[in-house]
Structure 1
């Protein structure tokens, strides 16, 4: 016997930031919404990140989505009652190659990026010796992902969105979603399961070359005692964001960092940190790509992140409070929007920038569905 779990205009599978963004758009447009999440709360990449909406450093669609998402973050923070910091990002230049890239980037993003000298960098963030200058990406935002994601879910629930927590999806068909608690019926189904696209649509995942990216992050004590508003990023970060790829000097920077630390380039280091509400720092991160990531973590990678971050801060060592692995979807294209069946959309941010782009991506997906 088939048990009915209810009906809605839209069913969203996945309560991470991408799923919540689609639920928000749907309820804003007057639709009834049900969200199905296999865990008791969101525990994936959406809560295991820096809490950094880094729109300015993106390119192409990610830049457009990130810019559009900024206003939604600010509005939603006021409505749902969570903190959003209009802090921007400080990019730190510790060598001539990094300074050259930032100078070019400031021209590309005129009005959004302000170059800083060494004194101005030090006035904004605590850094060690050897800083030549930097840049302030003014429009970037910060949130606390551990607090804002549940706050968004609670806000949506207060607006009538029905959440089915601890519920596994077994099958997705046009007009229905079969779950461990019965069948949900809806004209529109949004599948926002991040890196687990292959669990539901394996051929689709293969066709789009979706793999899992396992990233490593740590929370450490802040030895400087300073209050740090902006996100802080480095030359390693410049190698990972699409906006910097437009800078003619980037190959020289890549050559220098590869010559100095080839093992860190191989590990996909994005050397950066943000400060948590309790004053500690979230630092990281390294990246490893595979359809099925190895379950074993090499301590040398965390040791390297700790050493590099200590050097950036100008301190001898750092005390670790927490370590974790985050996993997100990775693919050659930064966004997956697929229609495997009528009224069904599979949506995944496949570039590790879901917090930055989800609120800009979701309206476009819903527009494409004509709702």
Structure 2
């Protein structure tokens, strides 16, 4: 057995976790000219960073998240030069009821014409092949799509080419000022960033409890595109209006929620955010449901998959959908959208606790390092 006192590496910054949040901090540090090591328990990224929609949903954020998301958007587009699959495809928000369209009108007033383009029913159908019942929509041109299965591995490869040292399949046992003890030895560093997503409680249980961190589990599916026409933008729906903070200031949002409570309470009970994105091969990632608990149960309810499939088929006007893959996504959730904590001198714990890590991490990380490394 390797002694924890064996020196594995010595750098300016060690990052624990090779998800998108950890990689964002590694990139921000390299941009500053620092030496960086990343320690990851798995052999490659396997967590929330590869199980999501790959949707950089910048426009629908609010507050600090909006600032981080807009900064991250610019970085994602730059990363295309490093081999990361990125498309500035925008987002179509589909309105299938007049109250949803009212929210989009109010949102357009808040954000302005450069960020939100209102669409009538024909304009919405022209951008996305949809079923009946569409009354209008909005196009958010600044949103981006990445390939979630490729983005984190490609970013890691680009960082390795710039000198970041990755210690894969290496578990972290201890985290102290200036030192991280791992299953392969000790990494010494002036600064430490812990970016382990929902596993904050595995290292700092008290901190996680104080912040109210729980695990949010999602039902997601990959289906064959039912139409010959490609769907280029990401697609959100009226249920999405209830889940993104940018819409909370819209007065008509209460009417949308009340209608779903009357007509489709099962969708709200399952925490459905009906949305989809296209993968590079043409298949669609669809979902998703939301359930919150301290731990994720091992059992998947088939009825939740059936619910998502039925609602997506109705949205697309398809008689049925062919499922290629099913999986459970998991991310950290807490009352505040971001957890940034200092459990010890020179150590930062960073977790995006709102399901928008792909959207915000690359913009969040430079601000964290501004504070950690003045």
What's the offset of the Cα at 1:261?
1.1
Return 285-294 or 16-25, whichever deviates more. 285-294
Return 290-299 or 346-355, whichever deviates more. 290-299
Partners of 1:352 and 1:245 in 2: CA distance? 17
What's the offset of the Cα at 1:83?
2.1
1:149 is aligned to 152
1:289 is aligned to 292
Show structure 1 runs of 5+ residues with no match.
none
Partners of 1:209 and 1:176 in 2: CA distance? 27
Partners of 1:35 and 1:225 in 2: CA distance? 43
Partners of 2:272 and 2:111 in 1: CA distance? 24
Partners of 1:258 and 1:297 in 2: CA distance? 25
- Within the candidate set 301, 314, 321, 2:317 is matched to 314
1:24 is aligned to 27
2:210 is aligned to 207
Q: RMSD between aligned alpha carbons?
A: 0.7
The one-character-per-residue Cα deviations of 1:91-113 (angstroms, maximum 9, x if unpaired) are 00001111111110011110200
- Give the TM-score, by structure 2 length: 0.98
1:358 is aligned to 361
Partners of 1:16 and 1:109 in 2: CA distance? 31
- 1:344 is aligned to 2:341: no
What's the offset of the Cα at 1:293?
2.0
What's the offset of the Cα at 1:182?
0.2
TM superposition outliers: structure 1 runs of 4+ over 2 Å: none
1:81 is aligned to 83
- Within the candidate set 263, 272, 276, 1:273 is matched to 276
2:229 is aligned to 226
The one-character-per-residue Cα deviations of 1:163-213 (angstroms, maximum 9, x if unpaired) are 000000000000000000000000100000000000000000000000000
What's the offset of the Cα at 1:148?
1.4
2:115 is aligned to 112
Partners of 2:129 and 2:344 in 1: CA distance? 52
Partners of 2:135 and 2:339 in 1: CA distance? 39
1:173 is aligned to 176
Partners of 1:82 and 1:66 in 2: CA distance? 18
Partners of 1:12 and 1:327 in 2: CA distance? 21
- 1:187 is aligned to 2:202: no
Partners of 1:256 and 1:208 in 2: CA distance? 33
Partners of 2:215 and 2:136 in 1: CA distance? 35
- Give the TM-score, by structure 1 length: 0.99
Show structure 2 runs of 5+ residues with no match.
none
Partners of 1:153 and 1:260 in 2: CA distance? 45
May I ask how many residue pairs the two structures share in their alignment?
370
The one-character-per-residue Cα deviations of 1:17-65 (angstroms, maximum 9, x if unpaired) are 0000000000010000000000000000000011100010011111111
- 1:102 is aligned to 2:108: no
- 1:332 is aligned to 2:344: no
